[in-house]
């Protein structure tokens, strides 16, 4: 019999790619989603897997809905991805960020401990936890380097990371922290800088927009390709012993380099003509530089990034170009008509209207 997996945050970028990977591997996939006024299943529709997932309504700050999700899914593996994941917004909503990300993780761990303690658990930790350490360390960051968070988001994730380690040691549970550096794709949310750039540059090249408004373009990030990173998550849960791993590319590039490369993909050299620096888009604190050392994942998991910076930008810009060209031809995207698709399997203890 195939394995069963529960993915929290299945409607997000990583959740969608991971669901596709697990379905291809023969898993029975259950995914939690939150009830919002406009349903958000476009990524799963985009990947053509909406009819292959069992959906369970679940709000991360509500333990009863997590308990119900685990009872329904009876998972062998739990991938806890749901989070308030936008660093900038965590300065505006620090308390909600801590509730969703830290309390939410405590809820997952405690519910697994009580209901299915043998399930393996993946916790979505992040390079953002290193924060200011990036100034001080003159080499790519390693798992054992220390953390100096610079945002409420980073603090919320660092607390979640430690909860994961505590549950692993105190209760002998299989819990891993994936310390993932930034990973992007055409399914990235539009508020993150890479997709904001690829989308706007595609529009500019088609005459649909005139400017690209950005904040701190000197910040550097280690950007990888999301489908490869979800494969790394899966590998982390296939080991004999639980451990924490960094996934990264080992290269850092600035936001400015991303902009220049994106304009290069559409054949525009005078990129400065279109870029407006807007002070309102600067964060109160911003991590200046992140570069990760993935040698532990390479050695123990056999994981290695394939898609590097230039190709990543090309993939994203070309996909946004295709979308807007189709739009100009009158085609509409799934998210233009965001209905609950009739073929969705929604499992809930409460009868739906």
- According to DSSP, the residues that pair with 220 across neighbouring strands are 254, 289
Nearest-angstrom CA–CA distance, 232 and 181: 12
**With CB cut-offs between 5 and 8 Å by kind, which of ligand GDD, ligand NAP, none does residue 249 bind?**
none
Q: Which residues of this chain interact with ligand NAP, rule CB under 6 A?
A: 9, 11-15, 34, 36, 40, 59-61, 81-85, 100, 124, 126, 180, 182-183, 189
Q: For Cα atoms 18, 22, 23, give the angle at the middle one, nearest 5 degrees.
A: 115
Nearest-angstrom CA–CA distance, 46 and 333: 9
Catalytic: 128? Answer: yes
Q: Is 221 in the site for ligand GDD (CB under 6 A)?
A: yes
| 32, 105, 126, 249: the active-site residue | 126
Q: Is 128 in the site for ligand GDD (CB under 6 A)?
A: yes
**With CB cut-offs between 5 and 8 Å by kind, which of ligand GDD, ligand NAP, none does residue 88 bind?**
ligand GDD
In sequence order, which residues have a C-beta less than 8 Å from that of residue 165 and are 6 or more positions away? Answer: 175, 177, 244
Nearest-angstrom CA–CA distance, 75 and 201: 42
Catalytic: 126? Answer: yes
Nearest-angstrom CA–CA distance, 299 and 28: 29
Nearest-angstrom CA–CA distance, 194 and 200: 10
Identity of the residue, 119 or 290, whose beta carbon is nearer to ligand GDD in the bound complex: 290
Give the residue, chosen from 56, 87, 237, 247, that forms a contact with ligand GDD under the rule CB under 6 A: 87
Nearest-angstrom CA–CA distance, 262 and 65: 42
Q: Is 185 in the site for ligand GDD (CB under 6 A)?
A: no
**With CB cut-offs between 5 and 8 Å by kind, which of ligand NAP, ligand GDD, none does residue 156 bind?**
none
Tokens encoding 119? 């399930």
Alpha-carbon dihedral angle through residues 83, 89, 93, 95, given to the nearest 10 degrees:
40
Give the residue, chosen from 52, 113, 142, 283, that forms a contact with ligand GDD under the rule CB under 6 A: 283
Q: Is 291 in the site for ligand GDD (CB under 6 A)?
A: no
Give the residue, chosen from 141, 255, 259, 262, that forms a contact with ligand GDD under the rule CB under 6 A: 255
| 28, 77, 128, 184: the active-site residue | 128
> Closest separation between CB of residue 189 and ligand NAP, Å?
5
Identity of the residue, 65 or 85, whose beta carbon is nearer to ligand GDD in the bound complex: 85
How crowded is residue 270: how many other Cβ atoms within 10 Å of its Cβ?
7
Binding mask 33-52 for ligand GDD (x = CB under 6 A): --------------------
**With CB cut-offs between 5 and 8 Å by kind, which of ligand NAP, ligand GDD, none does residue 34 bind?**
ligand NAP
> Closest separation between CB of residue 283 and ligand GDD, Å?
5
**With CB cut-offs between 5 and 8 Å by kind, which of ligand NAP, ligand GDD, none does residue 12 bind?**
ligand NAP
How crowded is residue 158: how many other Cβ atoms within 10 Å of its Cβ?
21
Q: What is the DSSP string of 55-77?
A: EEE--TT-HHHHHHHHHHH--SE
Nearest-angstrom CA–CA distance, 61 and 267: 47
Q: Among all residues, which ones are annotated catalytic?
A: 126, 128, 153
List interacting residues with ligand GDD (CB under 6 A): 85, 87-88, 126-128, 181-182, 191-194, 196, 214-217, 219, 221, 255, 281, 283, 286, 290
């Amino acid at each position: 019999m195939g394995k069963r997996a529960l993915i929290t945050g299945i409607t997000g970028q990583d959740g969608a790619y991971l669901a596709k990977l697990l379905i291809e591997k023969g898993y029975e996939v259950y995914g939690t989603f939150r009830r919002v006024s406009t349903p958000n299943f476009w990524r799963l529709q985009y990947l053509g897997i909406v009819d292959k997932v069992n959906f369970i309504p679940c709000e991360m700050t509500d333990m009863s809905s997590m308990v119900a999700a685990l009872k329904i899914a009876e998972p062998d593996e739990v991938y806890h991805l749901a989070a308030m994941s936008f660093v900038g917004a965590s300065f505006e909503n620090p308390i909600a960020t801590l509730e969703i990300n830290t309390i939410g993780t405590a809820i997952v761990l405690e519910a697994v401990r009580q209901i299915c303690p043998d399930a393996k658990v993946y916790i979505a930790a992040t390079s953002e936890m290193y924060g200011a350490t990036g100034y001080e360390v003159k080499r790519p960051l390693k798992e054992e380097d220390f953390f100096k968070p610079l945002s409420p988001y980073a603090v919320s994730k660092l607390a979640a990371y430690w909860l994961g380690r505590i549950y692993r040691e105190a209760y002998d549970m299989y819990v891993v922290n994936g310390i993932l550096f930034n990973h992007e794709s055409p399914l990235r949310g539009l508020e993150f800088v890479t997709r904001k750039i690829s989308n706007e540059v595609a529009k500019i090249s088609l005459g649909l927009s005139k400017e690209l408004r950005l904040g701190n373009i000197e910040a550097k990030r280690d950007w990888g390709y999301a489908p490869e990173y979800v494969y790394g998550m899966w590998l982390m849960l296939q080991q004999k012993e639980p451990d924490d791993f960094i996934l990264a590319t080992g290269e850092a590039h600035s936001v400015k380099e991303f902009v220049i490369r994106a304009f290069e993909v559409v054949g525009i050299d005078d990129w400065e003509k279109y870029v407006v620096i807007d002070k309102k888009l600067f964060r109160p604190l911003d991590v200046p530089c992140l570069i990760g050392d993935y040698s532990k994942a390479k050695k123990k998991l056999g994981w290695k990034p394939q898609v590097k910076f230039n190709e990543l930008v090309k993939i994203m810009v070309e996909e946004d170009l295709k979308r807007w060209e189709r739009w100009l031809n009158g085609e509409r995207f799934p998210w233009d008509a965001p209905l609950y698709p009739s073929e969705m399997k929604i499992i809930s203890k409460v009868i739906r209207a």
